[in-house]
Amino acid sequence: MRLVLVGPPGAGKGTQAEFIAANFGIPKISTGDIFRANVSGGTELGRMAKKYMDAGDLVPDEVTNAMVRDRLAEPDAADGFLLDGFPRNVAQAEVLNGMLDELGSPLSVVLDLEVDFEEVVKRLSGRRTCKKCGHVWHLEFDPPSTGGVCDKCGGELYQRDDDQPGTVRRRLEVYADQTAPLIDFYRNEDRLVAIDALGAVEDVTERAIAALTPFAD
């Protein structure tokens, strides 16, 4: 299955991506995670991307597209993948279509996680991420049993720099202006499936898997 997840910041793309990718046996490719790994690794790409991420803006397309092209060429992506956070505007979607045309393997489906903006603000303000294993927690909705420590691996939890209120506002504007048009783009291509992403994490996972199963090879 070649799958794209779309939805506003905080919709639960990263949370659901873990379960969906495991269910269908495909690698999860998150451009946000790759950028953050480069930021913490102090690479040149990380230094460049951090300026845009901290402002809540998109990293320039040519940088992001090249990074995704390289990642999709890795052997584990040959039989399918889940893209989380890419494409993020219509230009990136067109580049992705071009890359997949070259490989003769078009996207199977695009899953849109629908949530209102009030809910995403709550989800982002309480989000905490594990420094060691990357697992995403929420102080209120999915709290770790000991504050500040990951239950899965004992790693330290941190709040993302771009989850500050001013940056969240800008990310939501960027979503509305640049990313939301992808919904119509993929609807016109007849690839879009939307689910309600409100409610318990397990219920959303169940809805996602039910919606995607008809597209599995």
Q: Catalytic residues, which ones?
A: 13, 88, 127, 160, 171
Q: Is 21 in the site for ligand AP5 (CB under 6 A)?
A: no
Contacts 24+ apart (CB under 8 A), 70-74: 71/29, 71/34, 72/29, 72/99
Nearer to ligand AP5, 80 or 88 (CB): 88
* Beta strand pairing call for 127-130 and 157-158: antiparallel
Figure out which of the listed residues 93, 150, 172, 174 binds Zn ion, where binding follows CB under 5 A: 150
The stretch near Zn ion (CB under 5 A) out of 39-47, 56-64, 135-143, 173-181 is: 135-143
Residue 131 CB, nearest distance to ligand AP5 (Å)?
15
Question: Which does residue 130 bind out of Zn ion, ligand AP5, none, counting CB within 5 to 8 angstroms by kind?
Answer: Zn ion
Question: In sequence order, what are the beta bridge partners of 127?
Answer: 138
**How far is 16 from 107, CA to CA, in rounded Å?**
19
19-27, 80-88, 102-110, 145-153 -> range binding ligand AP5 (CB under 6 A): 80-88
Contacting residue, 36, 127, 135, 171, with Zn ion by CB under 5 A: 135
Phi, psi (degrees; rounded to nearest 5) at 166? -65, -40
Burial of 149 (0-12, 13-18, 19+ CB in 10 A): middle
Among 64, 96, 186, 195, which residue interacts with ligand AP5 (rule: CB under 6 A)? 64
Q: Which residues pair with 111 in a beta bridge?
A: 5, 193
Give residues in contact with Zn ion (CB under 5 A). 130, 132-133, 135, 150, 152-153, 155
